[in-house]
Amino acid sequence: MSTPPRVRFAPSPTGFLHVGGARTALFNWLYARQTGGTLVLRIEDTDRERSSEAHTQVILDGLTWLGLDWDEGPLFQGAHADRHREDALRLLAAGKAYKDFMTAEELTAAREEAKAEGRPFRYHRAEVGLPPEETARREAAGMPHAVRFAMPDEELAWDDAVHGRISWQGRDLDDFIILRSDGTAIYNLAVVSDDVAMRISHVIRGDDHVSNTPKQIALYRALGHPVPTFAHVPMILGSDGKKLSKRHGATAVGDYREEGILPAAMRNFLALLGWSPGNDDEVLPLDEVIARFDLGGIMTKPAVFDTTKLEWMNGQYLSMLPAEELLAPVERELARLGIDPAGRDLLPVIEAVKARSRTITVVAEQVAARLPGATLPRDDKAHKLIDKLGDRFAINLGLAREALTAVVESAWQPAHLETVIKAVAEEGGLKLGDVMQPIRVALTGGTVSEPVHELLAVIGRDESLRRITAA
């Protein structure tokens, strides 16, 4: 039996948990859960200036909210600076890296010279490096130096689990710095050093890292370690085809949480962002995603982040979930809106509105609109309806009120109320909609809701009649 995979999610705590990061985390998590593997969480906090503990916390909270747990960590990259340095020095001792005493000015001059002569600039020891005597002189003088990796002249190729074969030539890549003159390791070395130490078998990460991979492969080989499997997941674009950014709306997972998206819906949505189950299935329970997920099903072309689809997905989850499960988030939302349900049983109200709502926030607003004392601003569609019906708005509402007033409390039930409203329309020779819509506007301020007889039942007799009279 082969050893179960070890994967990692390695965010840099330099910002919030971006939806792209969350998607990468999810794919790693799905792979680990499906294969009985291990997910390591590694916080890549080596950029001291941009990293913060607050961001780390936001990332951990975001993962937890999404229901993504990890088996090891969080480990902090910064805590392993010594190992990174040792690995670099090992390469230096083995002659696979060299000391570079070139100053920043000299480097710039070399670049400009190449540009002036119209040749591509590549930092290769033989072409760009200082003459050996000069290197020796600077070394003897104790001048500061970086350590550069001597890029081998060989093919650096891998079978990407998503993209298939990708191949680079070492000679097309620079001898890149692995250790700065202050003794800190550069990104690519730190990542490889950590992935080796953590025995990572599969690196599942964003497409933006494809160009790092050949350098990392060269480092694995130089350090004498097997190269892991790489899977580069496609970028996420906004609906206009441009890289997803703030311009497209919320990009932080926390914003969607605020907007009332359910974690289960977000997870389902993210799973389908770049991965296909192989057919048109959209609403996939988590168990099924775990069972069906495969790296080969990840698409090579960029995924489009469609907010409308996310809301639709959320609506699907809202209608599937029992009202009980929505109670706590709705109560939180009501509290945020400053609304006190005053001991009212909210479950039937949530039940009535959840199927027609796309977010928890909307559920809460709809619930609030059905509680006594709600303010009911009329929306545009309501105004249009009133304009269209003219006098009939008040007349029809009056007829409905008369009939509904005759319904006693114990008979105030959906089925009976439906019969009463139908009778009003029939007796008055009116279109059913012309009776129902005015009631809806009177009860909610809008023209869309659950069926009117259910709406009346949810709001209750006294409050319904009060609203109709007020309208």
Beta carbon of residue 193, minimum distance to ligand GLU (angstroms, whole number): 12
Interactions with ligand GLU, residue window 112-141 (CB under 6 A): none
**Summary count for the chain: helices (H), strands (E):** 21, 12
Q: Is 96 annotated in the active site?
A: no
Is residue 12 close enough to count as binding ligand GLU by CB under 6 A? yes
Q: For ligand GLU, which residue of 209, 248, 381, 416 counts as binding (CB under 6 A)?
A: 209
Residue with tokens 């060989």: 154
Q: For ligand GLU, which residue of 5, 6, 10, 457 counts as binding (CB under 6 A)?
A: 10
Catalytic residue among 246, 309, 354, 381: 246
Judged by CB, which is closer to ligand GLU: 18, or 85?
18
Beta carbon of residue 306, minimum distance to ligand GLU (angstroms, whole number): 23
Is residue 40 close enough to count as binding ligand GLU by CB under 6 A? no
Is residue 205 close enough to count as binding ligand GLU by CB under 6 A? yes
> Is the CB of residue 346 less than 8 Å from the CB of residue 330?
yes
Beta carbon of residue 15, minimum distance to ligand GLU (angstroms, whole number): 9
Beta carbon of residue 290, minimum distance to ligand GLU (angstroms, whole number): 22
Judged by CB, which is closer to ligand GLU: 198, or 456?
198
Give the contacts of 303 (CB within 8 A, at least 6 positions apart): 234, 235, 236, 237, 273, 274
Interactions with ligand GLU, residue window 181-200 (CB under 6 A): 191
Is residue 11 close enough to count as binding ligand GLU by CB under 6 A? yes
What does the buried/exposed string (b/e) look like for 12-21 if buried means 16 or more CB atoms within 10 Å of the residue's CB? Answer: bbebbbbbbb
Query: What is the CB neighbour count within 10 angstroms for residue 67?
Result: 13
Instruction: Tell me which stretch binds ligand GLU (CB under 6 A): 5-13, 155-163, 295-303, 359-367.
Output: 5-13
Q: Please measure the distance between the N-terminal and C-terminal CA atoms of the chain and give it in whole angstroms.
A: 73
Interactions with ligand GLU, residue window 425-464 (CB under 6 A): none
Beta carbon of residue 227, minimum distance to ligand GLU (angstroms, whole number): 14
Q: Which of 87, 232, 226, 217 is nearest to 154 (CA)?
A: 217
For residue 100, the cross-strand partners are 146
**Which burial class, exposed, middle or buried, applies to 312 when counting CB atoms under 10 A from its CB (0-12, 13-18, 19+)?**
middle
> Phi and psi dihedrals of 6, rounded to 5?
-120, 120
Instruction: Tell me which stretch binds ligand GLU (CB under 6 A): 7-15, 253-261, 306-314, 416-424.
Output: 7-15
**Side chain identity, residue 1:** M
Number of residues engaging ligand GLU in binding (CB under 6 A): 7
What is the set of active-site residues? Answer: 246
